[in-house]
Amino acid sequence: MSVRITDVELIPLQVPFSPRHATHMQRLGGDWSLIEVWRVTTDSGHVGYGETIAEYTWGRSAAELAAALQGCNPFDLLWDRSHGAGLQMALWDVAGKAAGVPCSRLLGPAVREAAPISWWCLDMAPDEWATEAQLAVSRGYTSIKLKGRSWRDVLTQIEAVTQVAPQLDIDLDYNSTLANAGTAVLHLRELEQFPNVKIVETPIPQGDVAGNRQIRSQVRFPIAMHFGSPPIMTALADDVCDGFVIGGDVKSVLDQATIAAQANKPFWLQLVGTGLTTAWAMQLGAVCTHAQWPAVTCMHIYSDDLLAEPLEVVAGYVRVSQEPGLGVEVDEDALAKYRLDSFDQAKPRARQLYVMTWASADGMPDHTGMVAGDEGDLHREVEHGNLPRFVSGSRLEQRADDGSAEFDRSYRAATGRVAFG
């Protein structure tokens, strides 16, 4: 098809999080509120959009491409991962619109009309998780993916969710924090009292093949692992997991989806962003036979989905649009509202101090340890054995810099190491 790109525009945004997520997302090392939206216009009058979470997504698009791609045929560029996440998505969107078909028609034969999707939460206090679970159910979700963390009492958290939303399936991502098979098996067997816990992701380092095999043989939960670690032939030969987490550029997603299908392993698509990325994930999910586990896009952590009409979740599924391209209309007013001249204008994040508290076994007052920085610093202190791992009754308090001398002293004391109370 003879279509030429006449304009490529990069639009930097800072999209605020919804209230509870605004507090907890401060813990991450990267700022997920910084979003690059790409707008691609062709001589046929079609406009495509894509987005990149600048400090998270698999590939950030180079600003120089805005000029370099003008005059090119978007159909010649669709499979080139070097263009990065946001620009590649925009190219697929505009190509679908120019061809008059949804992106799924360009990707392959459709196998489903609606794709499963999951709610997502970073670790929170039990009552906060319970509130998120109720909100998820009210918005049509039947599954929630949660983060299991060393500084929380996961059993208490799961109990809180189960009490208010017993119908909600729970997937738990430990990001390797259960450390080894011995620790993991004991912990996960305790979780077996909750029948709504359905999938456990990456309980220990994925390269620990023997440990992951041991876990899989001793607990009831299906184990999910990020595709590629350990190498896929090892993962399949040693049967270390029940399914995968798949994301990235288009070719990688489809290649990995094909291998998963041949191995008869389900997976969820993990593509993080607002409504734009969610619409893209649904188009990909439409053509992947084994994208049977609920996709994770984190759309609802943002206060605005950047769409003129929100995507509707019904009984845990989003209908795959049959309109051209991504099948959604971007809210131009939202782009104008959150637009920055550059990320230098972004609202800075306050310094954070974390106080972990856990019960004393000897009847003495509870123990506390303070860590400064972000979640990576918390993980470091746990990995070094300076803070306990998954202790019953443990909890975390998060303190933002209030400008006081007391906060500054505490922050300095806890920088680079754990300061015990």
In a domain, 191, yes or no: yes
Question: Is residue 260 helix, strand or coil?
Answer: helix
My answer on whether 224 and 84 are in the same domain is no
Give the model's pLDDT for residue 20: 87
> For the chain, how many structural domains are there in total?
3
Residue 386 CB neighbours (<10 A): 13
Q: Is residue 347 part of a domain?
A: no
Output the domain CATH number for residue 89.
3.30.390.10
Q: What pLDDT score was predicted for residue 107?
A: 97
- Whether 240 and 131 share a structural domain: yes
Residue 107 lies in a domain: no
Enumerate residues 6+ apart whose C-beta is below 8 A from 384. none
- The reply to whether 346 falls in a domain is no
Phi and psi torsions of 248, nearest 5°? 115, -155
As a whole number of angstroms, the distance between CA 362 and CA 368 comes to 15
At which of 99, 131, 162 does a domain end?
A: 99
Q: In the prediction, which pLDDT does 327 show? A: 97
Is 126 within 8 Å of 392 (Cβ atoms)?
no
Last residue of a domain, one of 99, 128, 160: 99
Please tell me whether residues 392 and 246 are part of one structural domain.
no
Please classify residue 101 by burial: count the beta carbons closer than 10 Å to its beta carbon, then call 0-12 exposed, 13-18 middle and 19+ buried: middle
Per-10-residue mean pLDDT for the chain, 421 residues long? Answer: 93 95 93 97 97 94 92 96 96 98 97 98 96 97 97 97 97 97 96 97 98 96 97 96 98 98 98 98 98 98 97 98 98 98 91 92 80 94 93 93 95 91 72
For 3, the token pair is: 């279509």
Same domain, yes or no, for 212 and 154?
yes
Cα atoms in the Cβ-side hemisphere of radius 13 Å centred on 410: 21
- For residues 61 and 10, the answer to whether their CB atoms sit within 8 Å is yes
Question: 181 in a domain, yes or no?
Answer: yes
Residues 196/168, Cβ–Cβ less than 8 Å: yes
317 with 380, same domain: the answer is: no
- The residue type of 52 is T
Residues facing 245 on adjacent strands: 226, 268
Percentages of the chain per state (helix, strand, coil), in multiples of 5: 35, 25, 45
DSSP string, 195-251: TTEEEEE-SS-TT-HHHHHHHHHHSSS-EEEETTSS-HHHHHHTT--SEEEE-SSHH
Structure tokens at 137: 């159910």
Q: Is residue 177 part of a domain?
A: yes
Q: Is residue 300 part of a domain?
A: yes
177 and 289, same domain (yes or no):
yes
Query: For residues 361, 204, 355 and 157, what is the CA-based torsion angle, rounded to 10 degrees?
Result: -80
Which amino acid is located at 221 in the chain?
F
Domain boundary residue, one of 337, 370, 399:
337
CATH number of the domain that residue 213 is part of = 3.20.20.120
Instruction: Verify that 210 and 252 share a domain, yes or no.
Output: yes
Is 209 contained in some domain?
A: yes
Task: Label residue 26 left, alpha or beta by phi (over 0 means left) and psi (-120 to 50 means alpha).
Answer: alpha
pLDDT at 49: 98
Residue range(s) defining the domain that contains residue 378: 352-420
pLDDT of residue 363: 67
Judgement on whether residues 401 and 274 belong to the same structural domain of the protein: no
CB contact set of 236 (below 8 Å; sequence gap of 6+): 263
The rounded distance, in Å, linking the Cα atoms of 356 and 253 is: 38
Q: Are residues 82 and 162 in the same domain?
A: no
284 and 323 co-located in one domain: yes
Same domain for 369 and 407, yes or no, is yes
- State the residue for tokens 């990688």: 252
Distance CA 225, CA 28 (A): 21
My answer on whether 387 and 257 are in the same domain is no
